[in-house]
Amino acid sequence: MAAASKTSEVMLKLLIDTKGQRVLFAEAGKDFVDFLFYLLSLPVATVTKLLKKEGDVGCLTDLYQSLENLNETYMQPNQNKTSLLNPKSSLNSNGLPLMLSDNHDQSTAGKFYLCGYYDHVSDVYNSLCPCGSGYRMTKKLTFVSSAAAANSSTGTTAAVEGGFVKGVVTYMVMDNLQVKPMSTISSITLLNEFNVQNVRSLKEKIVVFGVDEGIKLLKASLECKTVLTSIFLGDTGA
Interval 162-201: pLDDT, tens: 788 999 999 999 999 999 999 888 788 888 888 888 888 9
**pLDDT at residue 236 in the model:** 47
Residue 155: half-sphere exposure toward Cβ, Cα within 13 Å:
0
Q: Which segments in the chain show pLDDT lower than 50?
A: 1-6, 93-96, 102-103, 105-109, 157-158, 236-238
Asked if residue 129 lies in contact with residue 76, where contact means CB atoms within 8 angstroms, the answer is no
Q: Measured between alpha carbons, how far is 3 from 28 in angstroms, rounded to an integer?
A: 9
Residue pair 15/27 in contact by the 8 Å Cβ criterion: yes
3-state secondary structure 188-236: HHHHHHCCCCCHHHEEEEEEEECHHHHHHHHHHHCCCCCHHHHHHCCCC
pLDDT value for 106: 46
